[in-house]
Structure 1
Amino acid sequence: MAGHSKWANIKHRKGAQDAIRGKIFAKFSKEIMVAAAKGGGDIDTNPALRMVVSKARAKSMPKANIEKAIAKATGASKEGIDFKEVIYSGTLAGGVNFLVICLTDNMNRVSANVQSLFKKAGGQIGKQGSIPYVFDQKGILEIEKSLVDEEELMLFALENGADDFKSENEFYEIYSSPSNFLELKNAIDKKYGFEYKTAEVTYIPNQEIQLDKEKTQKLLEHLEKFEDDDDIQEVFHNMDLSVVLEND
């Protein structure tokens, strides 16, 4: 779950896709359990749960997996209630920033692991909980271009709270403030009923760092190691990946 899908599309992972999907779904399950344990299992009355379920559905998480996670959190065991969110950030080679979002039931473990990961990557960890200024938190919806006319969708989105609209390759990208995201998505759902490529509130870099191909690939290898940690939910970065996309 390397943040925005345009970065997640980079084929920097090794191994079977099923194993990767399984790990991603396991992390979604944890996030769903946390939201359901705190606010209840009804997505109509629990905005946090509705948000993470929309994100999981956009990444093709099976309905049965979503329902199982909610059931675990709202049952007698209340799984997920002990997990806490903690945020780390740090600077790596060439001024690249990593923003690391964790959900953990063991603060000592996650602290030690994240510090070790930054050290092995040659990075300098920042103050816990700080969000680097190079990231903006935005709601984003990605929709296949073949599904709707561009001007029609753009006008509708802007009329319903979108801040920006972009046409990128095969997709339209609709941006909003985090506070407007669910209202905007609900309006688009009601009118069009789209299947989204991406539907989430995420962190997007407002400036990117361009390195040479070798250094970029090396940092992507370190990114994989961060993502493989069970306590780490998502990792955002501000690398310009055009150098590794040129031959894709």
Structure 2
Amino acid sequence: MSMITRSGSVRQVTSALRFFSTTSVTLSGHSKWDNIKHKKAANDAAKAASSFKMSSKITVLAKMGGVDMSRNLQLAYAVEKAKSLSIPKRVIENAIKRGNGELKNGNKVESVTYEGLGPGGVAVVIEAITDNKNRTIGMIRPCFNKYNSNMTPTAYMFDKKGLILVDLGETEFDEAFDDLLEMGCEDINEIEVDEGETEGENGDGSRLVELVTDPKEFGKIANAVKDQGKYKIKEMEIGYVAKEDMKTEITNEDTRESFDKFIQSVEELDDVEKVYTNVD
């Protein structure tokens, strides 16, 4: 994964009717969203790795939520993303069949989670998709060892939340807020893109917001956004959000450099899907 830094912020919501907390959203290489900005075409090796990762993810999503994409929106958007990456239709279809049990595979593909403390004592939760857990842990553990860090329970420092990245198009945030509020979101964060970065797929000034939901309401809210037809879902997942009292900062420049290199080394592993941290 790329470590291109993207800065983001959340507009302060002042209305007395809006009780959402506001949190910083940093669109960096190790953030929740890693596909906002267009990237240069990958080389053949990177494309192969991307194909493997996406097909594995589709298999797991199909296994967890079923193959009906009108109900399993995570699967639907994973398939759309795979198509956008020019992954062959046959690869996508076989991945779905493996998840549904139609296509037998000697290796069981599953989602696994690893926890630890990285440089600076930063809490890290790593999600991976693998067909060999011994191989995966054998790749992740050396990343911690190299930076004198250790694998230890840290998930208790996070809440699991539904996260939906929505493109408001040309609609102003304040205008969209009430629509999204009625859908049952716990939090709505407006993401401000750096000046000079392309907003929207066509540079049309579209606006991005992150919807934070209870995991149990995740599917219902995603369907509500889809059915309304006014806004476009760009990304969606159930992931980890650091608890307010567990967030930390890295103020030392050397520690920050070590932390960034550590995160990059983890993200570059073939089996790793997402990396979450409690850095504010």
What is the TM-score of this pair, normalised by structure 1? 0.76
Residues 1:34 and 2:50 aligned together: no
Deviation at 1:67, TM superposition (A): 6.5
The 2-side partners of 1:78 and 1:182 are apart by 28
Asked if the contact 2:168/2:231 (under 8 Å) is kept, the reply is no
Residue 9 of structure 1 deviates from its aligned partner by: 7.6
C-alpha change, 1:189 and 1:27, in structure 2 (3 Å) is same
Equivalent residues in 2 for 1:69-88 (5 A)?
A: 69-74=92-97, 77-79=103-105, 82-88=108-114
1:178-227 CA-to-partner distances (Å, cap 9, x unmatched) read 11112111111111353334322221223132233332232221212112
More displaced, 219-228 or 21-30? 21-30
CA distance in 2: counterparts of 1:17 and 1:205, whole angstroms:
33
The corresponding residue for 2:42 is 18
Could you tell me how far apart the structure 1 residues matched to 2:61 and 2:70 are? 13
Question: Could you tell me whether the CA contact under 8 Å between 2:30 and 2:275 is conserved in 1?
Answer: no
Q: Which consecutive residues of structure 1, in runs of 5 or more, have no partner in the other structure?
A: 241-248
Contact 1:33 1:79 in 2 (8 A): no
Deviations 1:49-98 (A, max 9, x none): x3244256469844755773233441664349711222111112221111
- Whether the 8 Å contact between 2:120 and 2:259 is mirrored in structure 1 is no
Structure 1 Cα separation of the partners of residues 141 and 263 of structure 2? 14
- After superposition, residues 93-132 of structure 1 pair within 5 angstroms as 93-127=119-153, 131-132=154-155
What SS does the corresponding residue of 1:90 show, helix, strand or coil? Answer: strand
Q: CA-atom RMSD, angstroms?
A: 3.3
Are 2:163 and 2:213, in contact at CA under 8 Å, matched by a contact in 1?
yes
Matches within 5 A, 1:45-84: 47=72, 50-54=73-77, 57=80, 61-62=84-85, 65=88, 68-74=91-97, 77-79=103-105, 82-84=108-110
Q: Does 1:178 align with 2:201?
A: no
C-alpha contact (below 8 Å) 2:189/2:210 kept by paired residues: yes
Supply the AA of the counterpart residue of 1:183: K
Query: Which ranges of structure 2 fall in alignment gaps of 5 or more residues?
Result: 3-24, 194-207
1:168 equivalenced with 2:205 (yes/no): no
- Asked whether the equivalents of residues 59 and 95 of structure 2 are also in contact (C-alpha less than 8 Å), the reply is yes
Question: Secondary structure of 2:233's partner?
Answer: coil
- Per residue, is there more helix in 1 or in 2? 1
Which residue does 1:230 correspond to in 2? 270
How far apart in 2 are the matches of 1:103 and 1:168?
28
Decide whether the 8 Å contact of 1:5 with 1:198 is kept in 2. no
Over the matched positions of the two proteins, sequence identity in percent amounts to 21
Per-residue Cα deviation, 1:136-177 (whole angstroms, up to 9, x for no partner):
222222334543232332112121111111223142222111
- Aligned residue type for 1:18: A
Is 1:7–2:28 an aligned residue pair? yes
- Distance, in Å, in 2 between the alignment partners of 1:8 and 1:60 is 22
Q: Contact 1:137–1:201 (CA<8 Å) still a contact in 2?
A: yes
- How many Å separate the matches in 1 of 2:61 and 2:30? 27
- 1:245 corresponds to: none
Distance 1:146 1:38 in 2: 31
1:200 to 237, 242, 249: 237
The answer on whether the counterparts of 1:103 and 1:231 sit within 8 Å (CA) in structure 2 is yes
